[in-house]
Amino acid sequence: MRIIGIDPGLNATGFGVIERNKSGSKLITAGVIRTSSKDLIQDRLSKIYSGIDGIIREQKPQILVLEEVFSHYKHPSTAICLGYARGIICLVSGQAGIPIKSYAAKRVKKAITGRGDAQKHQVQRMVQHLLNIKEEKMPFDLSDALALALAYTYLDKIESGRK
């Protein structure tokens, strides 16, 4: 099964595609779509749309995994910007006919590291270990996206076992 994990953001949207089979998970491709705060909002959203659309067309994932929106009362504009990017990603997924699964950040951290309060660098190290990635420098947007895809491989088994 081919899974794409996406860590949505208006400045940086991380994506990671993995292939899951009986022998484990394999990294297919990953990266970050960056936009500039100097650009108009419609241009930034268009760049995210085009980037994710191209990846989906090329990689043909069976499921798209997104992080659930988290907002803090002190920073409501962050949630709004995240919502813009997330909406564009949902639109691309809907147009491609790909189902979406969403997980809270704590649930992803627990699935990957065993601890829901794990730090970003701990999640990153575990993602690198699980996918045999030797790179020292990996943006958190990218490792978070890969963590989402990997979390799906673990959590889907648990959830489908309950049904």
- The Cα 34–Cα 8 span in angstroms is 11
Q: Tokens 């890969």 label which residue?
A: 146
Q: What's the gap between Cα 131 and its chain centre?
A: 15
| End-to-end Cα, the chain, rounded Å | 20
135 tagged catalytic: no
159 tagged catalytic: no
Phi-psi region of 24 (alpha: psi -120 to 50; beta: other; left: phi over 0): left
**Which residue out of 43, 53, 67, 117 is catalytically annotated?**
67
117 tagged catalytic: no
Q: What are phi and psi for residue 78, nearest 5 degrees?
A: -65, -45
**Which residue out of 135, 141, 144, 159 is catalytically annotated?**
141
Q: What's the gap between Cα 126 and its chain centre?
A: 15
Task: Point out the residues that are catalytic.
Answer: 7, 67, 141
